[in-house]
Structure formats: C-alpha cells, structure tokens
A = this chain, B = another copy of it.
Amino acid sequence: MTEQIEPDLSVFFTAKSVAIVGASNQFGKVGYDVVHNLAQFGYPGEIIPINPKSKEIQGYKAYKALTDYPGEIELVFISIPSKYIINVIEEMGQLGIMHVVIISAGFRETGSKGARLEQELGEKLKHYGIRAVGPNVVGLVDTHTPLNGSFAARMPIKGNLGFISQSGALITGILDWSLAEGMGFSKFVSLGNKLDLDEVDFVRYLSQDEHTHAILAYLESITYGDKFIEISRQVSQSKPIIVIKSGSSKAGARAASSHTGSMSGADTAYDAAFEKAGVIRARSVEELFDTATAFSTMPLPRGPRLCIITNAGGPGIIATDAAEFAGLELCVLAADTIEYLQSELPAAASTINPIDVLGTGAEREYGLTLNAVLADDNVDMVLVITTPQGMSEPVKVAHKIIELHQQYPDKPIAASYMGGVDLAEGTSILKKNGIPTFAFPERGITSLLGLWKYAKIKQDMSKRLLEPEQFEANKDEVLEIFDSVINKGRVTLLGSEAIAVARAYGILAPDTRTAFSITEALRHAEAIGYPIVMKISSPDIIHKSDIGGIAINVKTEEEVRQQFTKMMNAGRQNYPQAAVMGVDIQEMSKVGRELILGVSEDPQFGHMIMIGSGGIYANYQKDVSFGITPINKIEATTMLERTRIHKILQGVRGEAPSDIERTINTLQRVSQLVTDFPEILEMDINPLFVFDENQGINAVDVKITLDRTKILKRQEEEIS
C-alpha cells in the first residue's frame, strides 16, 4: 500500500499512550506478554489494557473497549482472535486512532478463508487511513523510548542497529542470541503479512531515525520491487542497508523460452536489484550481523587498505588470506612507521604488514604499534588480533584499543580475540565499548569489509543515480507494430517486426522483410540486394539453425526458391505444431564477435537486462551479467565489464579492439525501449555482432515477445 502518501511511522515507536486490545492477566497469553513487556522494560507512556472481562490487568486499570478510555490513545496493539479484529479497527476509525500493530495470526497464512478476512481488514484500514503493522507479527521494539510492544521474552540491548524481519521467530532468536553476544539494537520490527506497511516503509522510516546507524533486514519476499529499489537507492546514500534474502524465487521457471530467462538463476534478479538499490546482501545470518556490527560505532574507511596487528603468525596469515579473498588491500606502511616499529619492537618482530608484535607483545607493544599505524596515512582500517600467550595482557590491550580509537575516531578498528575463556573479559570490554570483536580473524575481516563495501556504495551511488540518457526513438512505429501483432492474435513478433522495433530505437540491425511466398521472397531479395540471408519465420521455433532454418550467403533467385521450400518443409516436419509464418529475407551482414543482449521480465523488479557472450553456445558459456532497467551509461558499462568477453572486446592477442562504445550504447537503447514499453515480456538479440572499434554493431537476430494483458490494458486506457 505504498501508493499512499509517505506515512509518519514515528508513532509506532514513540507513542505517548498505547492500548492493548486482548490484554490479559493469564501468563502464557500474548496479551499478557505485551502488557508485561511494556511495563517491565520501562515504557514511559500510558499503558491502557483493553479487556471486556477484567477491571485491572497486571496492575493497570483495564477498559472494556477503546471507546471507554477517556484520554487519547496514540497506538493500539491487538491480540484477539482474527475474526473480531475488524470491529476493533472500526472503533479505532471512529475514535480517530491511526496506528495499530496487529499481532494476531489467523489470516492469509491459514488459507483462503483467512485471506478473505485479511482482504476485508485491509479495506477497513484503507477506509479510515489507519496505518498497520502485521497481522501475524511478534510486535515491535524501540530500545531508546523504550517501548517493547512484543511478545518476545526479552529486551534487546540499546544500540544503533535497526532490524526489520519478515520472520517473527528470527526476531526472538536473534534477540536472545544478541544478549549473549552483547550486540545492541535501536529497533526491531516484525513485518508479518505486510497487509499495509512493508519493508519499504520501514527502510524509509529508519533512514530518518537518529538512533539507527544501519538498517538490517531479513526478507523472504519484496512486495513492491520498483519502490524498494527507488527508496533504497536514496536511503543507501545516507545509511547502509544490509539484507539477507531467503527463499529461492521460482521466477526463472516461466521464462525458459528466452535465452535471457533460461540463463538467469532463480536469484539473479534479487542480486541485480540489490546492486542497483545499493543494498549489501548477506549470505547468512552470521554474515548479516558481522557485516552490520561495525556500523554501530565505526566510521567509514577512506579506502580498502588494511593493516593487521597480531601477536602470532598463523592468525595473521589467516586474516591476510581472508582480506585478500574479500578484496581488501594489505597496506604498505610508510617508511617512517616501519622504522619506528623496528626501533621499538623486538628484533624478531615483523614490522611489515601483517605486523607481528610476537607472543611477548603486551600492552606497550600493541599500544605503540596501533598508535603508529592509526597515524599512518597509508592505513585505512586496522584489525587487531590477540591470541592467549604467556605475556598477553588482553584486558589492558583492550583498554588501549578503546583509548586509541577515541584518539583516532576517523579510522575503523575491529578486533579478533582468539579464545573463549582467558580472553573473555577483554572481549567483553571491547564489545561494550563499541569495538567489533570476534573469536576468529575472518569474521573481523567481514566486519571491516562491510564498512568498505558501504563506503564504495556511497562513492558510486551518485554516478549510478544519474538519469539514463534519452535517445531519439520512434515510439509511434513501435506502438503500431505491437498493436498489429496483438490484433493478429500473436504475442511473438516476426523477425522482421522485431528488427523494425529495434531500428525504431536506433539499434543497428540489417534490413529484414518477411516473405510469405516465394514470389515475395524474390521481391524482397531483389530490393535488399544479393547476397542475402534467409531465416525461417516462426514464433515457435527458437533454435532455427538446428533444423536448417537459416541460410546465409544466398546468392541467386534459384537458391532463394530452393531454400524457401526447404525451410517451410523443415519447419512443418520438425515442428508440426509450430506456426510457420514464412521466411525472413535479410541483408547479409559481415561477421563480428558474437554477443547476446537480452531482456526478461521479473515479477518483482520488472525488466532484467543481460549482456554477455552470445552465439549458439551462449547457454553453455555462462558468461553474462545482469541489471535492472532503466540503466544509465555507468551501469551499462559496469555490466559489460563484468563479462569475460569484455577483455576480448578490448583487443587481445594483437587483435583490434571492438566497438565497446556502441555495445554499451545498444544496451542503453534496449533499456530505453523496454522502459518505454512495459508490455515487452522478453527480448533476445543473439547474436549481436560487434565489429572493430568505430565499426558499430549489427543486431542480426532479434526476438520479442509481448505481454498480451498489458497491451490490452493500455489499449483500453487509450480508448477511455
């Protein structure tokens, strides 16, 4: 329901008075827990239990109904059987209470009856403009107000991470885990069925929340993909968004008729969308929190140059490996830093990165080393590793790290305290003071990497947000072709039609005309000029060359006649069910490097665009990269650069470079085409011939399939 105006969600977290419909004195009931949690965890506002049978709930005066309460109620929590809830919403509407958290389950998740009930509920909410969290949620928590409006058994530690979760159980699990880990949160929000408010609303809200430094989300689906991308792109310029997305989408299955569809995995669209949105994707729950934790307290690094300080070689090497694998750089220390360390550390110490202060390294050695590297301009971030050794002073070292972090607040530090008993106190001190600390060095690297990933997103986002260039295009011609195709009862364009569409958008493609008879074929060949290419024209035959449906270098009328008959027969024999429309007569192209450029529609995110190695083996080469349209030049360039064939296009083995510029331009033009025409369901250009630099490209085979429903809808709109 994000079509509504941007809601102010602050009431959900800072309401001055909350009513609990279904409040209970009975331990074990959700309505007990919510009242208990509000009271126990220090909610400073008015707690108003609503229960028709009790006068008092957990020491608070109870009311029979919302209408009985004499004062103002800002927020309502509901925990009563689902069928009674609509009445409560009606009451709220009458009273002008505009915010509700519907904890109760018993809706869509239970089947069609529940789904109907949920729909009614939605209509009621909409009628009054009431904003709702849920139904089917654990509730929500704000540690700063504090407001624990949930049936979770615990209160999180106050902190700066905001966590949005589509799974309530994940909230209770993470909450319990975070207490042992010493990890703090600003807010927990359980999304539940997302009848009204969804991830987009809370991402937007948390972006403006002063207590939230990073936005974390566990999502199983995204309700409005386009909105999610749009809002996240804005938010990610000011706050990091880190998401774990679970549940493989089955979206890929339908699209198997196009190359683009069949080459994208179930999760490709989410990867492409998150990248476009500036969202950092975590691959596991642990990675989510390891990535997020540093944002609570640490600044962003200016660059990827890491310095490792350790008191033992092995863990230093492990950290080095992990850093290099992750794409961080092991910095080269300044000469005077090395000189200083050489003069202050024992002779056997390693004074080049990773710096090994040796097992004898104690507070003094760690302190002077950390101080020196934090002061070194070549260092962007530091990982401090400590293992339990005879001379270790883990607690003193911890205090030193904290002190130096305050002294150099502009450089992020993470720690790996390798141990669980002798290092427990030091670990606890570090965590309490905001130094991300882990038992294993690799997790420290993940943490610092999170900061660097986000720093890069911030750097790049301004360029990626530039409006895509608009090329001159003949929209009317495309419109006419599409209408004509649909009116003829087809959804797939003939080759000649698809090429006409491409050409209308300035995509270089050969003159192509469909012949429905030999006579017509000869006429077209004459007009185009020999030699020509002939291709069987059928929306149902995907791999034309496999059945001899393509003839190149056709030079004579006689050959045209022969091929026409041969192709029509081959089509009928091999695909008796196929609608063979005729034969496309095409201008002969010189041969270039074979790329594939495609578009397929993703149900969540709209058009997904693809570029990579093409030709008949495209499916086996698996050398493609994806983006979500519309894309600008920067995005198109990045997409192409990610393919292996990009290197070859640049010119290798003494060969001339290819026309990369025009290739990128073609990507942008296709993006514009499908953005202008949402009714394009799939589009493949394969092969897209790319010639030498400045020699252009040639889209010799173009395939377009339309979404009939969308076109009919547009036609209706045009009429009305």
Known contacts A317-B247, A388-B176, A390-B33; is-contact A168 B312 (Cβ 8 Å): yes
Chain B CB within 10 Å, residue with most, of A166, A422, A644: A422
* Nearest-neighbor residue (CB-CB) of A287 within chain B: B442
CA distance A389 to B105 in the complex (A): 15
A546 on the interface (CB 8 Å rule)?
A: yes
Is A286 touching B442 in the complex (CB atoms < 8 A)?
yes
8 Å CB interface, A541-591 against B = 543, 545-547
CA distance A422 to B322 in the complex (A): 33
Within the complex, the shortest CB–CB distance from A644 to chain B, in Å, comes to 6
Question: Chain copies in the assembly?
Answer: 2
Contact with B along A417-443 (1 / 0, CB 8 A): 011111110000000000000011111
CA distance A440 to B420 in the complex (A): 18
A648 on the interface (CB 8 Å rule)?
A: yes
Across the interface, which residues of B come within 8 angstroms of A284, CB to CB?
318, 322, 440, 442
CA distance A648 to B440 in the complex (A): 43
Within the complex, the shortest CB–CB distance from A567 to chain B, in Å, comes to 15
8 Å CB interface, A274-289 against B = 284-286
Across the interface, which residues of B come within 8 angstroms of A218, CB to CB?
314
Is B315 touching A173 in the complex (CB atoms < 8 A)?
yes
* Nearest-neighbor residue (CB-CB) of A165 within chain B: B314
A489 on the interface (CB 8 Å rule)?
A: no
Within the complex, the shortest CB–CB distance from A178 to chain B, in Å, comes to 7
A1 on the interface (CB 8 Å rule)?
A: no
CB contact between A620 and one of B313, B441, B622, B648 (< 8 Å): that residue: B648
CA distance A308 to B314 in the complex (A): 37
CB contact between A286 and one of B176, B312, B320, B443 (< 8 Å): that residue: B443
Known contacts A621-B644, A653-B616; is-contact A166 B389 (Cβ 8 Å): no
Within the complex, the shortest CB–CB distance from A391 to chain B, in Å, comes to 8
A634 on the interface (CB 8 Å rule)?
A: no
CB contact between A179 and one of B175, B391, B420 (< 8 Å): that residue: B420
A177 on the interface (CB 8 Å rule)?
A: yes
CB contact between A390 and one of B30, B109, B180, B220 (< 8 Å): that residue: B30
Across the interface, which residues of B come within 8 angstroms of A175, CB to CB?
419
Across the interface, which residues of B come within 8 angstroms of A466, CB to CB?
none
A170 on the interface (CB 8 Å rule)?
A: yes
Across the interface, which residues of B come within 8 angstroms of A324, CB to CB?
248
CB contact between A545 and one of B177, B423, B545, B653 (< 8 Å): that residue: B653
Tally of chain A residues near chain B (CB < 8 A) = 82
Across the interface, which residues of B come within 8 angstroms of A72, CB to CB?
none
Known contacts A285-B442, A621-B644; is-contact A387 B170 (Cβ 8 Å): yes
Is B418 touching A174 in the complex (CB atoms < 8 A)?
yes
8 Å CB interface, A79-128 against B = 109-110
8 Å CB interface, A284-326 against B = 284-286, 311-315, 317-318, 320-322, 324
Across the interface, which residues of B come within 8 angstroms of A30, CB to CB?
390
CA distance A469 to B165 in the complex (A): 58
A257 on the interface (CB 8 Å rule)?
A: no
* Nearest-neighbor residue (CB-CB) of A654 within chain B: B546
Is B620 touching A652 in the complex (CB atoms < 8 A)?
yes
Known contacts A30-B390, A151-B390; is-contact A654 B170 (Cβ 8 Å): no
CB contact between A167 and one of B180, B312, B443 (< 8 Å): that residue: B312
Known contacts A110-B348, A317-B220, A644-B622; is-contact A422 B176 (Cβ 8 Å): yes
Is B169 touching A653 in the complex (CB atoms < 8 A)?
no
CA distance A564 to B652 in the complex (A): 25
8 Å CB interface, A611-639 against B = 616-617, 619-623
Contact with B along A140-180 (1 / 0, CB 8 A): 00000000000111100000000001111110111111111
Is A248 touching B418 in the complex (CB atoms < 8 A)?
no
* Nearest-neighbor residue (CB-CB) of A32 within chain B: B390
A694 on the interface (CB 8 Å rule)?
A: no
Across the interface, which residues of B come within 8 angstroms of A246, CB to CB?
314, 317-318, 320-321
Is A28 touching B421 in the complex (CB atoms < 8 A)?
no
Known A169-B314, A179-B421, A284-B442; further 8 A-B contacts with Cβ < 8 A: A110-B348, A152-B388, A166-B314, A176-B419, A220-B317, A545-B653, A547-B654, A620-B652
20 pairs from A and B in contact (CB 8 Å cutoff) = A33-B390, A153-B422, A154-B422, A165-B314, A167-B317, A168-B312, A169-B313, A170-B318, A172-B387, A176-B418, A177-B419, A177-B420, A220-B314, A247-B317, A284-B440, A286-B440, A543-B654, A617-B653, A619-B652, A620-B644
Binding site for B on A (CB under 8 A): 28, 30, 33, 109-110, 151-154, 165-170, 172-181, 218, 220, 244, 246-248, 284-286, 311-315, 317-318, 320-322, 324, 348, 359, 387-391, 418-424, 439-443, 543, 545-547, 616-617, 619-623, 644-645, 647-648, 652-654
Across the A-B interface, give the 5 residue pairs with the lowest CB-CB distance, nearest first: A167-B314, A180-B420, A169-B312, A176-B419, A173-B418
